[in-house]
Structure 1
Amino acid sequence: DGPLLYVSFGSLGAGDVELLKRIIATLGKTRYRALVNVGGYKDQYTDVPGNVIVESWFPQPSVIPQVDAVIHHGGNNSFTE
């Protein structure tokens, strides 16, 4: 298994479904495993690679210590959690 990434762009960023779909497709071509927070738009993600898990919410303070890297939008909660 490859390194585990956590991807979250906050509630506003989750609304950019096309961007997140491109990120997910790109991650699918890598050796990385990824948890991707897609907010309230989970139903729009029907073609997800096997190494990527999409959810509408992750318990971020619990997830961050468990992953190898975090890709985020730079929001205050992402930095403080």
Structure 2
Amino acid sequence: MFIGTENVKTLVLVSTLVTTITFAAGFAVPGGYNNSSGPQDDMATLGSKWSFQIFLICNIIATYSSIIVILALI
């Protein structure tokens, strides 16, 4: 099945948007950061929660998957 050039352009655009959003989510983590001085300074507030770790794993998978799709379509 042949994918037309317009479809490829749309898929590249969508995967670029997904990459941008997941990359930004890595910096603006849910729960924010600790601002206290100590050993946990500037660490994610929810860093020790299992749900946050699952979020990070899913975010990493989404970022790399969308980058691979962009490269494959180009």
Whichever of the two has the greater Rg, that structure is 2
Q: TM-score, normalised by structure 1?
A: 0.25
- Which has the larger share of strand? 1
- Which has the larger share of helix? 2
